[in-house]
Every structure is written in C-alpha cells, then in structure tokens.
Amino acid sequence: MTHASIKLDKDRVIAPIDPRLYGSFIEHLGRAVYTGIHEPGHPSADANGFRRDVISLVQQLSVPVVRYPGGNFVSAYNWEDGIGPVEKRPRRLDLAWHTAEPNTVGIHEFAQWCEAVGTEMMLAVNLGSRGLDAARAFLEYCNHPGGSAWSDLRRANGRAEPWNVRLWCLGNEMDGPWQVGQKSAEEYGKLAHETAKAMLAFDPSLELVVCGSSNPEMPSYPQWEATVLEHTYEQASHISLHMYFNNRAGNLGNYLAQNIRLERYIETIAATIRYVKAKKRSKRDVTISFDEWNVWYHSREADKPILRGEQGWPVAPRLLEDIYNFEDALLVSLIINSFIRHADVVKIACLAQLVNVIAPIMTEPGGAAWRQTIFHPFALASRLGRGKALDLQVSCGAYQADIADQVPQVDCAGVLHDDGGVALFLVNRGEGQMPVSVRLDGFAALRLAEHHELAGHGIKAANSLQQPEAVKPVAGQGARLAEGLLSLTLPPLSYTALRLAP
C-alpha cells in the first residue's frame, strides 16, 4: 500500500491521559545530579546551586513528575545521609554504580529543584538493604507537618511545611540479581505488603508503586507480577515496569518495530492485573507505572571499566552518557505513541533519565547544556498530547520484522483536547514518502494550528556540544484540511506532530 488512511472519531475515546505519562527520572548516578542539575559555581547556577540553563530545558519538556533517588542506587541508600548540614553529611560508597556519593544533594535540595522546575516528586524507598522502618521514617520526615521526631527534624533542617509527596515506589527492580538485596517474588511481595500497610496507616490516600519485573526477559516474568500482586493488590495503586531498547544488530526495520515488544509487555501485565483482581474478588483497579524506559546501549562498553571498579570510587563520573541519534528519536516517538494508545492502563511513565544519564538533556561542567535528538519528540508529545487518547482506525501497508509479521508502515496516536481540538502523532517507519488522509468524524470545524516534522536526517545523525541543533523539528509543509479531511505526505523515516484547533 502506498497510501495510509486514518479515521478519527471524537467519540472513540480510549481513556483520559494521565499527565504523568510524561514523567521522568533523576538517579544519583553518573552526572545526573552533580554537574547535571546541580553545579554551584556554574555561570547559570541559582542560589541553591542548580543550573538554570538545565531547569529551563526541563521546563520545555513539561515533566509533571520526577522519580528520585533511584534506580539501583536506592537499594543501598540511607536517605538520612542527605539531610542536615551539608558539611557534616557522610561520603558513602555506592555499590550500584561503583562510585562515591558525597550526599551534597539530598531530599531538601531535590525538593528545592522540583519547586524551581514546577514538578512533583515521586520518591523511592530502599527495600534492598533496608526495609519498612526506614520507609516509614522517610515518609514521616517528608509528609508530616510537625510534632513528631522525624517531622521536627525536617523543620529543624529548614523546611517547615511538609512536602506532601503522593507517589512512593516500594523498592526498585527487586527481581534483578544486580540489585543490592534482590528478593524472590514471595519475599518481596510480603515485604512490600507490610511496608505498604505501614505507609497507608500514615496516609491512606498515598499512591504506592510495587515492583514488577525489570524487563520481560527476566526468568521470573510474568509469574513475578502475579505473585507480587497477590500479596499487594489491596494496597498498590500501580505496578512498575521497566524497558530499555537497543539497535545493536543495526537493523532499522527491526529496531523501529520495538514498541510492539513494549505493547505486548503492557498487555500481558494488564491481563495479569485483571487475573489477580478476579482472584481477589477485588473492586480496586491497579494500573501500570512504566517508570523507566528509553534507548540504552550506546555507552555500555565505555562504562565497563568504572562498573568493574577499575577507576576506584569516583564522584559523578561520566556514566551511561548515551549520545542519541535520529533513529533513536524515531523509536522514542513510537514508544510515546504506544503509551498514549494504552492510556487506559498506563498512568505513569518516566523517561529514564533526564540529564546526562541516558538523557534528553546533556551538559558540560562549567559549559553549555543542549538537547539530544530524543528531546524533541518527547517535548512535542508532552505539550500536545494532553487530553483523552483516541482509538484510531488505521489502514496502511506493513512489513515483516523479527518481532511481528505485520508491522504497520505508519504508527499513529491521537489525543482529543479539552477545547475540542485534536493532536495527531505520526511516525513513518518506511524509507519512502507516505501520503496520508485522515477522516475526522464528529468534530466541529477545525483548522491546522501546528505542524511539526522531525525528518530528513541520516539515521545516525546526532546533536553534540559543537552542533546542538543538527537534529531538530522544522515546520511541516503541504498539509491541507477541508471538510473534515486532512491530507498530508509524511517524509521518509519521519515523525510528524499536528495540532488541529477549533
């Protein structure tokens, strides 16, 4: 087929999109915190030592929530190390990434940064080396107004008002052999259940996230999710999934089909949630927090010496500094489309991570900050993709890939805006141009308000400190909208974002 046709019906709504679908993640890892978000002495630093140039780029991504402080890091982290006078804070060895943690940034500083950005904290508690007691103390420290030992300590440390953090992750990737304090599903399920009970006794309105599998290749997947949910179904609001992607094989068609893998993962866990719900005769719904996802492979080889300890215990070394290219930006676009199409069950998703570490934003210490290729589709979708996810009918050609026999040439997602307008996100996976016609049913008269294209780059093209704008969206051309029919031509290998307004 050399043409794609799409039908958009205003009444075919999948679900409201939770804005937290456009969340992100900052871990004490590499240069995410130190020289990433925090660099006192940088020309753009604010009074708290946070880089204003980075804050401004993060604001362009409109991330409503940021997960912190890990990741693998959290599984041997003492949150108390990051409070009180900075000069008295201990320097610790971080076992996850073989680095040293100075604890210059802790919960107070991270909360200040979130306030400066305008985002919410999503905090993880350590269920690896620690457990229920540390979790309940951290919660009381963060959320209790005062009149208890932990909350008064927070006040004494300079923060009178509680932060009132709503979202809490109960550990991280607890099925992984790489995790400090790895557990079986039974062990973790019981610990998460007891921890959740204690946290909900403090505040029953909290949203708690229990660990699912680290990825669908784990030997215990998907039994892990069933077991963990059997222990925690009545307490958990969300189950966490993670997935990272690579194009090591260098096959573009297979690479751009990888969001199908993601969708199978989501759909399997959605079915597992329904299974446990039925088994428990429960009235509650548990949803998915896809709180780590991204492309991650470019830096793996370079990171090995540090991870093997060959450089001792450095502070904030360059780790996981993937440089993203144009094909990675296309895959990120496809993944976001998949999340939009699964907005009924995926309520939170965190691009992992935000700055320097497998990140859309890169910085040089003392120097500039710039946008990687993947920044652009995320920023467009985060800005235009708020509203209700629409169930589109798409008819187009397909190709065969390792993951599926029929991979649609055109991938698309649609979002109904509160004002009656609509956003469309289209990825052309093919190497030829693709004429598209979109039939709009049930909408008032709309006009083409925005048309952005990320296209025309070599698949390995990337941005850098020297060329920060080599890959960026440009205004699309030639789209026509008349009498409920939108016509346009997608460039080869491209991402297109459109806003139609009343």
Decide whether 121 or 180 has the Cβ nearer to ligand AHR: 180
Which of the ranges 69-77, 198-206, 267-275, 448-456 carries the binding residues for ligand AHR, by CB under 6 A?
69-77
> Please, what sign has the CA dihedral across residues 425, 430, 434, 439?
negative
Element housing 291 (H / E): strand 287-295
Q: Widest CA span of the chain, in angstroms?
A: 69
Q: Which residues contact 268 (CB under 8 A, 6 or more apart)?
A: 216, 222
Structure token digits, residue 433: 């141009």
Decide whether 97 or 425 has the Cβ nearer to ligand AHR: 97
36 binds ligand AHR (CB under 6 A): no
172 binds ligand AHR (CB under 6 A): yes
Per-position b or e across 385-416, b if 16+ CB within 10 A of its CB: bbbbbbebebebbeeebeeeeebbbbbbbbbb
The answer to whether 390 and 8 have CB atoms below 8 angstroms apart is yes
Q: In 3-state terms, what secondary structure has residue 409?
A: coil
Minimum distance of ligand AHR from residue 89's CB (angstroms): 22
327 binds ligand AHR (CB under 6 A): no
Cα distance between residue 456 and residue 454, in whole Å: 7
- Residue window 362-401: x/- pattern of binding to ligand AHR, with contact defined by CB under 6 A: ----------------------------------------
* Near ligand AHR by CB under 6 A: residue from 71, 106, 128, 181: 71
64 binds ligand AHR (CB under 6 A): no
353 binds ligand AHR (CB under 6 A): yes
Decide whether 209 or 352 has the Cβ nearer to ligand AHR: 352
Cα distance between residue 477 and residue 310, in whole Å: 52
Minimum distance of ligand AHR from residue 322's CB (angstroms): 11
189 binds ligand AHR (CB under 6 A): no
* CA 298 to mean position of chain CA atoms: 19
- Residue window 228-267: x/- pattern of binding to ligand AHR, with contact defined by CB under 6 A: --------------x-------------------------
Bridge partners, residue 188, by sequence: none
The answer to whether 42 and 366 have CB atoms below 8 angstroms apart is yes
Decide whether 228 or 352 has the Cβ nearer to ligand AHR: 352
* Near ligand AHR by CB under 6 A: residue from 109, 140, 292, 453: 292
* Near ligand AHR by CB under 6 A: residue from 343, 352, 427, 497: 352
